[in-house]
Amino acid sequence: MKLQLDPDVAFGVHPEFGVVAAVSDDHPFLDEVLRKHHFRHSSALDLYILSDDTPHNTTVRAVARASREFQDVGLSVAADPRIMLPPPIPTPDGAPARQALPGQSLTALTGELHELRRSADVADVLEQILDEHHGVVGDLEEFIDTAAAWCDRLDTPNGRELGQHLRTIAHHLAFLGDQLVTAQLDLAVMPDLTPEDAPPLADVPLLPRYELPSVTHTARARAALAPSPSRPATLPNSPDKAARSPAPPSSPRRTR
């Protein structure tokens, strides 16, 4: 038997306009929700479209959130799976474009841990995070390197400084990846199983981690302007010296 599906809202991929939405009727609620998530109606196409410069992740979130609102009131929604496929990552001229693949979120992988009993299975999940081509650790390292290159393009002292700081973070992340590989290999060779009467993972309290106090930009600025504890806040000057010594100009350098 062939079933005919006529959803209230359908999201698809248009060859020219990207992700679009079509509605079964002109109900005001459908229009309101789509416009709330930045879809705009095209009377020429009779479709709802997003602006050309909408980032891929923003598009996916818009489709997901609009779909949830429709389903919460009992409306049916259909979506083309190709919406989830990200565009290729730009590369220098002559280099093959890197095709990005949709990976599993860390939330999904963390949830998967709750159903596992064997150490080797946990190692398999951890291997997905460490995958050379599509693992989150490598992707995050590449993202930080790209953000550092973006800062370099500012061609300013602050931009170059921040770019170098981001590259230092990328080095720390690479070290973290090495440590996770060691843990993953150890889990892979462990024959251990959780016992049948072990409590659910959700009931096991997580041990507190040592946390460094966060330092905000405001706190750094205050520290930079605060007087040193080893000297008074203001130094007494003779009237003649004060008259001869103009106040130093304020530095335009941004504190971080």
Separation CA 141–CA 148 (nearest Å): 11
What is the chain's pLDDT, residue by residue, as a tens digit (256 residues)?
Answer: 344 568 999 999 998 999 999 999 888 999 999 999 999 999 999 999 999 889 888 999 999 999 999 999 999 999 999 898 888 777 777 777 666 666 667 888 888 899 899 999 999 999 988 887 778 888 899 899 999 999 999 999 999 999 999 999 999 999 999 999 999 999 999 999 999 899 998 888 888 876 655 545 454 555 455 544 444 444 444 444 444 444 444 433 333 3
Residue 125 burial class via C-beta count within 10 angstroms: exposed 0-12, middle 13-18, buried 19 and up: middle
Q: Give the number of other CB atoms < 10 A from CB of residue 189.
A: 9
Q: What DSSP designation does 77 have? A: E
Query: What pLDDT was estimated at residue 228?
Result: 43
Separation CA 198–CA 200 (nearest Å): 7
Query: What pLDDT was estimated at residue 152?
Result: 94
Separation CA 69–CA 61 (nearest Å): 12
Residues near 103 by Cβ (< 8 Å), separated by ≥ 6? 128, 134, 135, 136, 139
What does the block give as tokens for 127?
A: 């291997």
Burial 75-91 (b: 16+ CB within 10 A, else e): bebebeeebeeeeeeee
What does the block give as tokens for 45?
A: 């196409």
Separation CA 54–CA 63 (nearest Å): 12
Amino acid at 180: L
The DSSP element (H or E) to which 123 belongs, if any, is helix 119-130
Amino acid at 32: E
Q: What own/partner pairs with CB < 8 Å and gap ≥ 24 does 84-87 have?
A: 84/60, 86/56, 86/57, 87/56
Query: What pLDDT was estimated at residue 170?
Result: 93
Residues near 130 by Cβ (< 8 Å), separated by ≥ 6? 137, 138, 177, 180, 181, 184
Query: What pLDDT was estimated at residue 213?
Result: 57
- Share of the chain residues as helix, strand and coil, in percent rounded to the nearest 5: 45, 10, 45
Q: Which residue has the tokens 């799976």?
A: 81
